[in-house]
Structure 1
Amino acid sequence: MSQVKNYISGIMVAFILAVVAKFLSKLIPYHVISAGVFAMLIGMAIHPILGKITDVKTGINFVSKKVLKVSIVLMGASLSFTQVYEVGRYSLIVMTFTLLTAFGFGNLFGKLFHMNWKLSNLISAGTGICGGSAIAAISPTIEADDNDVAYAISATFIFDIIMVILFPLMGQLLSMSDLGFGLWTGTAVNDTSSVVAAGYAYSDIAGNYAVIVKLTRTLSIVPVVLIFSYVNLRVKINNKKYGERVKVKVKKIFPWFILLFLGMVALKSTGMIKEVVGKELADLSKFLMIMSLGAIGLKTDFKKVYKSGIMPMLHGFLISTLVVIVSYLVQNMLGQI
């Protein structure tokens, strides 16, 4: 019973935070700062207080991980396969260039900054794929130290916070279309939560596109994890430290919620979900996203970010900046801006 109370208390904190964030967002002209951004910033501001209250942690973790996925699944009720195809065919091309940029320059900067290859590639994975999720999936595969994981997450997270605020402003400055901005955000911003915040801060249509692209990008976790499993084995052999092959369980790292999202899109495409119902589910999806972003902010400790050091931060900033530039240039060549 106590565990249930822990869930409820954490969920209620995230719910109240989302309501406050929506209210504050409406006070800003043109909604320049979205409710999701407000939720994250307020969450980080009150983390020192709530971080000490163990009763709410279970519910906050639940919202930040599970509820976010539910919100993405529900978003499928407002989309169709035509939209998915329109974005997906271009996102794969852009994603190929951004992944090559992230890992190529990531290893180059890693050597220049004298960083170990595990930390360097964790940052590259977080930047090129999907932030903390990619880092969490790859770290056990390459047997990374906890310090490396903390550094990598901190390095990618700070850039994401900056981009959540700057991306919509840059999109307006560059007069980007909803499709172009969604594609740019989905391929250049790291974490799913930040993609959601930046995308919907621009427009609802851009937000939908950004999430579709981000989901496509998330799928690259599987081949990348398998590749690094092989790389780690080769490093062991080269160092004459023979051991058992690192086993990668695809079932645990595959983002299964994507299949549910596609199932919801299928129901909408076939007309089984009516427009009115689809709109209601989409509105619910947005609110759940705001709750999730607030919960993620509540879990962020600035003291740990501060202790991460300068070089990993610079490493992550340089790679993220290059990914943003490459994504924009490739889209420009494809005529999708």
Structure 2
Amino acid sequence: MDMEKAKTLFLKCRSIQYLLDRGLTIREILFWLTAMGCLLPGMTAPIALSMGLLFANLLGHPYTKTGSKATDYLLQFAVVGLGFGIGAEQAFYASKEGFSMTIIAIACTLVLGLILGKFLKIEQKTSFLVAVGTAICGGSAIAAVSPAIKARQHQTSMALGAVFVLNSMALFLFPPLGKFLGLSAEQFGTWCAIAIHDTSSVVGAASQYGNEALKIATTVKLARALWIIPVAFLSAVAFGQGKGKIKVPYFIGLFILAVLANSYLPFVKLIAPFIDRLAHMALCLSIFLIGCGLSRKLLFAGGLRVLGQASILWIIIAGLTLLVVAL
């Protein structure tokens, strides 16, 4: 055995020994116990988010370096899993009904967002990221467009912080508002999909309104999320960055495959309820992890002006969408 191989083997042995000898801290034990609580029957998205927020701001997230990627993968699994509970005809109908409203909402949000940003004297790229996050799908859209326009880290953080604050509020506000206004499952699902930023909050809010609302909201939301691709390309051109670097949401394709499999493959229908249940559990756990990542520093990174822009924009778009849906 040569020296290089011996050195590699030695390092592997040391890393394994480190894992075996390393004990869990009290914070990590509490984290895992709380996370397992999110898998219990009756757990809802607002409760999971509240647990995450409290844990992050009282005890601190023990896995800050790896938590973000784990959350993304878990949420994507949850969304794809929900596809096994949706029929192809229902998905096509929901996408068709929400298509025109999605285009109008995206265009109006981007224009209004830039106008508000200029009025509030916010950096153009920060203002644009807030508008993109509100128009399409929150943090995912911001993460996709940021490298395309070569935004700086503090600009991305400010936009993410503002959007995450409003996402958290949506989980608590939308379901009781929908019930108070007497919205049907179809109306509420469409409203959620257009008016709430992140996929996690859309699915979390709709899940409290019933299975029908959840199916409609998930389908319309993912159809809306596809606009990340053209908007990111156009953003790169508008900001003089050429094609830039764009993150494509590939999990949307897996969601479509799950819907088709559930509709046309008989054996899939036998296991679909089990996958759907796992998806709901994964959703609650991912929302808990999202809450764990929302420290005070991130939530208020943008200050009052950026939060003000995001809030005004969100209220206008949510209000106008509600009027259209309710008519």
TM-score range, shorter chain: 0.7 to 0.9
1:306 partner letter: F
Change (3 A) 1:219 1:307: closer
Give 1:158 deviation, angstroms. 1.1
Give 1:271 deviation, angstroms. 3.6
Q: Which residue of 2 aligns with 1:214?
A: 221
Q: Which residue of 1 aligns with 2:164?
A: 157
Structure-to-structure mapping, 1:157-196, within 5 angstroms: 157-196=164-203
Q: What SS does the aligned partner of 1:202 have?
A: coil
Give 1:17 deviation, angstroms. 3.2
Q: What SS does the aligned partner of 2:72 have?
A: helix
Aligned length: 309
Q: Write out per-residue CA displacement over residues 259-289 of structure 1, whole angstroms, 9 at most, x where no aligned residue.
A: 1111111111114345442111111100011
- The runs of 5 or more residues in structure 1 that have no matched partner are 27-33, 234-244
Cα distance in 1 for residues equivalent to 2:202 and 2:290 = 13
Cα distance in 2 for residues equivalent to 1:261 and 1:22 = 22
Cα distance in 2 for residues equivalent to 1:62 and 1:15 = 17
Change (3 A) 1:273 1:262: farther
Q: What SS does the aligned partner of 2:147 have?
A: coil
Change (3 A) 1:11 1:140: farther
Q: Write out per-residue CA displacement over residues 87-109 of structure 1, whole angstroms, 9 at most, x where no aligned residue.
A: 10111111112112211211111
Structure with the greater alpha carbon radius of gyration: 2
Change (3 A) 1:188 1:273: farther
Structure-to-structure mapping, 1:27-106, within 5 angstroms: 35-48=44-57, 51=60, 53=62, 56-57=63-64, 60-106=67-113
Q: What SS does the aligned partner of 1:300 have?
A: coil
CA contact (8 A) 1:88 1:213 kept: yes
Q: Which residue of 1 aligns with 2:10?
A: none
Change (3 A) 1:331 1:4: farther
Which of 306, 314, 317 is the matching residue for 1:320?
Answer: 314
Q: What SS does the aligned partner of 1:140 have?
A: helix
1:201 partner letter: Q
Cα distance in 2 for residues equivalent to 1:17 and 1:289 = 15
Q: What SS does the aligned partner of 1:139 have?
A: helix
Q: What SS does the aligned partner of 1:255 have?
A: coil
Which of 92, 109, 122 is the matching residue for 2:116?
Answer: 109
Cα distance in 2 for residues equivalent to 1:183 and 1:304 = 29
Q: Which residue of 2 aligns with 1:17?
A: 34
CA contact (8 A) 1:122 1:135 kept: yes
Which of 110, 123, 136 is the matching residue for 1:129?
Answer: 136
Cα distance in 2 for residues equivalent to 1:230 and 1:12 = 48
Q: Which residue of 1 aligns with 2:5?
A: none
1:248 aligns with 2:257: no
CA contact (8 A) 1:168 1:198 kept: yes
Cα distance in 1 for residues equivalent to 2:242 and 2:252 = 26
Cα distance in 1 for residues equivalent to 2:268 and 2:160 = 40
Change (3 A) 1:193 1:88: same
Cα distance in 1 for residues equivalent to 2:132 and 2:208 = 25
Q: Which residue of 1 aligns with 2:148?
A: 141
Give 1:171 deviation, angstroms. 0.7
Cα distance in 2 for residues equivalent to 1:275 and 1:91 = 27
Q: Write out per-residue CA displacement over residues 31-74 of structure 1, whole angstroms, 9 at most, x where no aligned residue.
A: xxx62111111111111465363xx3455334311011011111
Q: What SS does the aligned partner of 1:143 have?
A: coil
Give 1:331 deviation, angstroms. 2.4
- The runs of 5 or more residues in structure 2 that have no matched partner are 1-14
Aligned residues with identical type, % of pairs: 25
Give 1:314 deviation, angstroms. 0.7
Cα distance in 1 for residues equivalent to 2:97 and 2:304 = 35
User: What is the root-mean-square deviation of aligned Cα atoms in Å?
Assistant: 2.6
Which of 216, 223, 227 is the matching residue for 2:230?
Answer: 223
1:202 aligns with 2:209: yes
Q: Which residue of 2 aligns with 1:240?
A: none
Give 1:174 deviation, angstroms. 1.4
Q: Which residue of 1 aligns with 2:264?
A: 270
Give 1:328 deviation, angstroms. 1.7
Cα distance in 2 for residues equivalent to 1:179 and 1:325 = 17
Cα distance in 2 for residues equivalent to 1:12 and 1:270 = 44
The alignment's TM-score, normalised by the length of structure 2, stands at: 0.86
Q: What SS does the aligned partner of 1:310 have?
A: helix
Cα distance in 2 for residues equivalent to 1:15 and 1:77 = 28
**Farther-moved stretch of structure 1 (310-319 vs 74-83):** 74-83
Cα distance in 2 for residues equivalent to 1:116 and 1:158 = 20
1:309 partner letter: G
The alignment's TM-score, normalised by the length of structure 1, stands at: 0.84
Cα distance in 2 for residues equivalent to 1:263 and 1:137 = 23
Give 1:117 deviation, angstroms. 1.4
Change (3 A) 1:273 1:17: farther
